[in-house]
Structure 1
Amino acid sequence: MPTARLLVGPALRRVVGTRATVWVETSGPALVRVGTPDGAGGEATTFTAFDHHYALVVVEGLTPGRATPYQVFLDDEQVWPEPESKFPPSMIHTRREDDPDVRLIFGSCRETTQHATARKLPPDALDAYSRRLMAAYRAGPDGTDPDWPDLIVLLGDQVYADQTSPTVRKLLRRRRRRTVGAPADQVVSFDEYTKLYLESWRDPEIRWLLSTVPSVMIFDDHEIIDDWNTSTPWRAEVHSQPWWPERIASGLASYWVYQHLGNLDPDEIAADPVYAKVMAAEDATSVLREFGQRVDAEAIGYDAALGAGTAPADAAVPGRYQWSYAVDLGRTRLVVLDNRCSRVLDKTHRAMLPPTEWSWFTDQVHGDYDHLVVGSSLPWLLPPGIHHLESWNERLADSDRPRVAEYSERLRRALDLEHWGAFRRSFDALAQVFARLGSGTPGQPGDRVGTGPAYPPPASISVLSGDVHHSYVARARFDTAIATPVHQLTCSPIHNQIPAPMRPLLRLGWWRGPSVAARALARTAGVRRPSVRWRRLDGPYFGNAVSTLRHDGRSAEVTIEGTSAEGTLHTVARRSLTG
């Protein structure tokens, strides 16, 4: 018997050329080895933190353009595939260098299936997708499947720290030692966070899916707490809670271990400063605890420096950790943005990203590719009526009149008015970036878009989002015609549901009459007209769903699939994005 057991995983995270990364959690320290029948493989020793054990193995020597089964060994004992498993073998699919076609699966907001024991939820869309992939499991003569997804993009709320299942709540009640004042039904410590991931990722269909299709992820608010970093008053209020320091440090540390570490490609892993410290430590508990505390403190400190006028002229924050990342697949570039942790909340500088990270983003989107995909946990384009309401609320919440600001802040939290429309500086900046990319116009002085070689406009620009618990497709219209179609593609939830009373309000947000009224309200507060207009093409769809974005050469198409009562998928929308 092996000295350690496989607790979570294996999760196939990144496949880059002839290399891949495989993430695991084990029950004890071990040497983790991943091998294939044709001799490709890799190994890594586990690192220990908070009495838990993890490894990220870089597999090398894979054959391009093939599907290769793999095995996982702990101290030379095979632990995956499991004996007598009824699931298809886990495979690593590599791409051919000249293959321009890309399949991205995306969605957000997945509560564990155990929530169904507490309240009725529609069937899990990712479970349904996994079952369908198993049923269609096949490989062509060269070991590849033309319809096999290249990547799963999970856009936030992969776990819910503040809305736990009956199983986790029972565990919390049995705990004798918890932080003073800790909410009885919410996780706070790192160990409690591990129970969320164990519960969610050991779902058999999900475990198989993550073992055989690469995935990348980004957090939204529920990985930490509802409305995370919505405003400066919110931040001050939550920081007054005695349990918050442990919650934010544990939430960010566990996110780094379970989600972000797998977003890095093999070269980025070696260069990541946190990974280097973790691997050098005999016990990385203090390393990760300090890391979680520091990341939150950096955001607060930068906001304070902005408010005091003492921020560095170039907005640089030495050593500041970046959660945003970029992925290239064929002729598709995916840039996934942190919409939560690094927000600038100072009222005169409110922004989704700090200036240095925005410069990084504009660097990433300037290049030679056919399709640009921006991953944003929060939709850039909401129903117009709601967008105008958010912009109005942002202006009043920043009022110098205390009563107006206080009332507007309460309204902001009650209605979750915290999307790009509530960060108008960032909303307009993103529109300007897309307009310049779509027209091939060089960037303005000080804007790093266009400072390198000139490239032709991409065939499509798509913003993938979740959060809002309904799915839709919208197209942006700019003041001047551009060559590239720009779409908002929202798919949410994977496994959750929106309260029934909210559905009519979201539908009304797309209607012209309410939108005009909301725009007039925003105008009374001095909010200027948005630099882009948009209209809904498909949706809103309120059931559980998963979506596929297909890039075939320079054509692009999105398909939204919902779940039936029987737990199967059916198409609710299909839209060409380049027609």
Structure 2
Amino acid sequence: MSLLLGPVLRHVGETTATVWVQTHSSGVVEVLGCSASTFEVQGCHYAMVLVDGLETGSVTEYQVHVDGEQVWPEPDATFPPSVIRTRGHTANDSLRIIFGSCRYPKTGDAKLDDKLGLDALDCYASRLPSLPVDEWPDALVLLGDQVYADELTPEARRHLAGRRSGGHRPPDEVVTFNEYEGLYRHTWGDPEIRWILSTIPTAMIFDDHDIRDDWNTSGAWRKEVNAKPWWRDRIRSGLASYWVYQHLGNLSPSELADDEDFQKVLAAEGDVWPLLVDLADRADTEVDDDKGLRFSYRWDLGRSRLIMVDSRNARILDSGDRKMLGNREFAWLKEHVNDGLDGVDHLIIGSSLPWLLPPAIGDMQMVNERAANRPGWRGKLGETVRQTADFEHWAAFAQSFLDLSHLIVDVATRDSGAPATVSVLSGDVHHSYVARADIPNAHARVHQLVCSPVHNYVPWFVKPVFKLGWSQRLARLTRRWAQHNGCPPLPFAWRDVNGPLFGNTLATLRTSGRDAEAIFEQPRGSESLDEAARVSLTG
């Protein structure tokens, strides 16, 4: 079969769409009369087809042809035909986004799969054909850990065991681009996942496991891992594969046309791996308080706006001045938050890592950052705690947390033209919740919406820690402790209005006019999910 993976429907506008595929060999890929030649990376072949000429507000079935041969839908397909649904102007400008993070693949190991439970996205995909097309989501937002490059399935471990010789590369972690290719094919290869990715526009951002656990936790972590003889190959392969499999599809056709790296890849002959090595090195290197490549992006969805923030690779660490986002990256975020905000009813910010943690845990991370910055053994102890306890969220970068908080406060308290809601979508922490920010004089309701995991197990210690973390009594104690240790005052308080929920979960953000709500569902059977929580974001 000439189609190895995909099609994956990515950015969709009012008259355009992008469709990504991986093919067995080089060729010309065609979708709805629009075509693109493949490009080659380490013997693997990919194409991004830019589809134009679609009608606004339309639903169009599509097929994929490679060198004139129809390769999608497959002959034995059991799901409905894949479609492209463009956005149009409706009376209430409704929007339905499904989102979540941390999706581990099926392993084939009965004991391990039973521990992981039912895949919420699989179940959602199986249920979807029974719903009218106009009730299908407008977008699927994947908030990190799309692949697990350091927590391998038994099959992936066996595959690597046959490839390793000598001690230069570890036997239990992927290092090469081809090994990453195997992870993506395994993770996205389920029939249910291939179909839903082919028919729901999908936005993605990475988190640490897409590269390696605790990736970019701190400058000390970077220094230690950079000393490993295999790391340079690993980070190049991880960032290059992310660019190919995830990042390209986040860009609109006009952005792809202006993207110098993409245009160089299209113009190159033969294997473009050297171009991707240069790209990965620029993305990984800090230059003048910034990174050499931006992975953050923006989607306009009618009167809603989605801004996805790279809160993992964009970190500034090597200089000793910890920042979740470099100065230029934060300036980009601020510009796109405020651009034409009068026409936005719902501002949605995606960050793989939660902005608002349980208050007690956030205070712990702020105190730990100050400890890790101290010289001598106290700083070393603080750094050990930072890495061991995964203190790497927004609160562990206190100045960046405050910068983002003040930006959101400015939006919510605008005298005129404030959106109805500001929602920060996140994952990572293997439980789900809704937190409401109590911002004085706010005209917009502000919430942190966390959905994690889509398909993974929850460690036993997570439940009591996060239940206790939301205690208001404990929060008062930890805030006094944090202030005693020199932590800055917080610009507002926040509290959980639902959760924490534990178990595999998929969340939906629904808007209608200036109303919005969040719905959390958990698998009950292979084709059904139960509603676990529903929260009004405007009531």
Does the residue aligned with 2:89 lie in a helix, a strand or coil? coil
The separation in 2 between residues aligned to 1:65 and 1:244, in whole angstroms, is 47
- Shift, 1:281, TM fit: 1.2
**Are 2:383 and 1:395 aligned?**
no
CA spacing shift, 1:236–1:117, aligned 2, 3 Å: farther
Does the residue aligned with 2:208 lie in a helix, a strand or coil? coil
Contact between 1:155 and 1:376, CA under 8 Å: does it hold in 2? Answer: yes
The separation in 2 between residues aligned to 1:433 and 1:185, in whole angstroms, is 42
Does the residue aligned with 1:564 lie in a helix, a strand or coil? strand
Contact between 1:128 and 1:569, CA under 8 Å: does it hold in 2? Answer: yes
Corresponding residue of 2:40: 48
Structure 2 residue runs of 5 or longer lacking an equivalent are none
Please tell me the residue identity of whatever aligns with 2:302: G
Query: How big is each residue's C-alpha offset from its partner over 1:333-369, in whole Å with a ceiling of 9 and x where there is no partner?
Result: 0000001111012576321111111111111111221
**Are 2:118 and 1:123 aligned?**
yes
The separation in 1 between residues aligned to 2:202 and 2:525, in whole angstroms, is 27
Map residues 195-206 of structure 1 onto 2, 5 A cutoff: 195-206=182-193
- Shift, 1:500, TM fit: 1.1
**Are 2:487 and 1:527 aligned?**
yes
- Shift, 1:116, TM fit: 5.2
Contact between 1:118 and 1:165, CA under 8 Å: does it hold in 2? Answer: no
**Are 2:385 and 1:438 aligned?**
no
Corresponding residue of 1:91: 83
- Shift, 1:177, TM fit: 5.2
Query: How big is each residue's C-alpha offset from its partner over 1:369-428, in whole Å with a ceiling of 9 and x where there is no partner?
Result: 11100000000000111000000000000012x110011111111110010110111111
CA spacing shift, 1:293–1:550, aligned 2, 3 Å: same
Contact between 2:123 and 2:526, CA under 8 Å: does it hold in 1? Answer: no
The separation in 1 between residues aligned to 2:197 and 2:231, in whole angstroms, is 31
Please tell me the residue identity of whatever aligns with 1:432: H
- Shift, 1:514, TM fit: 2.5
Map residues 153-232 of structure 1 onto 2, 5 A cutoff: 153-176=141-164, 180-232=167-219
Map residues 101-140 of structure 1 onto 2, 5 A cutoff: 101-114=94-107, 117=110, 119=112, 120-136=115-131, 138-139=132-133
The separation in 2 between residues aligned to 1:204 and 1:154, in whole angstroms, is 18
Map residues 523-562 of structure 1 onto 2, 5 A cutoff: 523-562=483-522
Does the residue aligned with 1:396 lie in a helix, a strand or coil? helix
Query: How big is each residue's C-alpha offset from its partner over 1:414-473, in whole Å with a ceiling of 9 and x where there is no partner?
Result: 1100101101111111111111111116xxxxxxxxxxxxx6100100000000000000
2:264 to 277, 283, 287: 277
CA spacing shift, 1:57–1:177, aligned 2, 3 Å: farther
Map residues 288-299 of structure 1 onto 2, 5 A cutoff: 288-297=276-285, 299=286
Please tell me the residue identity of whatever aligns with 1:159: V
The separation in 1 between residues aligned to 2:49 and 2:5, in whole angstroms, is 14
Corresponding residue of 1:425: 399
Query: How big is each residue's C-alpha offset from its partner over 1:134-167, in whole Å with a ceiling of 9 and x where there is no partner?
Result: 222x34xxxxx1x121110000000000001111
Contact between 2:290 and 2:314, CA under 8 Å: does it hold in 1? Answer: no
Corresponding residue of 2:2: 5
Contact between 2:435 and 2:449, CA under 8 Å: does it hold in 1? Answer: yes
Query: What's the TM-score, normalizing by structure 1?
Result: 0.89
**Are 2:431 and 1:459 aligned?**
no
Contact between 1:118 and 1:166, CA under 8 Å: does it hold in 2? Answer: no
The separation in 2 between residues aligned to 1:399 and 1:269, in whole angstroms, is 44
CA spacing shift, 1:273–1:536, aligned 2, 3 Å: same
1:26 to 17, 23, 31: 23
Corresponding residue of 2:247: 260
Corresponding residue of 1:445: none
CA spacing shift, 1:290–1:117, aligned 2, 3 Å: farther
Please tell me the residue identity of whatever aligns with 1:460: T
Structure 1 residue runs of 5 or longer lacking an equivalent are 36-40, 140-144, 303-310, 442-454
Give the aligned CA root-mean-square deviation in angstroms. Answer: 1.5
The separation in 2 between residues aligned to 1:115 and 1:235, in whole angstroms, is 34
Does the residue aligned with 1:410 lie in a helix, a strand or coil? helix
Contact between 1:477 and 1:534, CA under 8 Å: does it hold in 2? Answer: yes
Does the residue aligned with 1:293 lie in a helix, a strand or coil? helix
The separation in 1 between residues aligned to 2:8 and 2:320, in whole angstroms, is 42
Does the residue aligned with 1:114 lie in a helix, a strand or coil? coil
Query: How big is each residue's C-alpha offset from its partner over 1:467-518, in whole Å with a ceiling of 9 and x where there is no partner?
Result: 000000010012x321111000000000002211221011100012332332
Map residues 330-341 of structure 1 onto 2, 5 A cutoff: 330-341=302-313
Please tell me the residue identity of whatever aligns with 1:404: R
The separation in 2 between residues aligned to 1:438 and 1:520, in whole angstroms, is 27
Answer with 519-528 or 431-440: which moved more. 519-528
Contact between 1:122 and 1:565, CA under 8 Å: does it hold in 2? Answer: no
Corresponding residue of 2:137: 149
Aligned length: 532
Corresponding residue of 1:377: 352
Corresponding residue of 1:243: 230
The separation in 2 between residues aligned to 1:183 and 1:176, in whole angstroms, is 8
The separation in 1 between residues aligned to 2:380 and 2:108, in whole angstroms, is 35
Query: What's the TM-score, normalizing by structure 2?
Result: 0.96
The separation in 2 between residues aligned to 1:117 and 1:270, in whole angstroms, is 46
The separation in 2 between residues aligned to 1:157 and 1:409, in whole angstroms, is 24
**Are 2:446 and 1:486 aligned?**
yes
The separation in 1 between residues aligned to 2:422 and 2:40, in whole angstroms, is 41
The separation in 2 between residues aligned to 1:321 and 1:343, in whole angstroms, is 12
The separation in 1 between residues aligned to 2:420 and 2:138, in whole angstroms, is 19
Identity %: 48
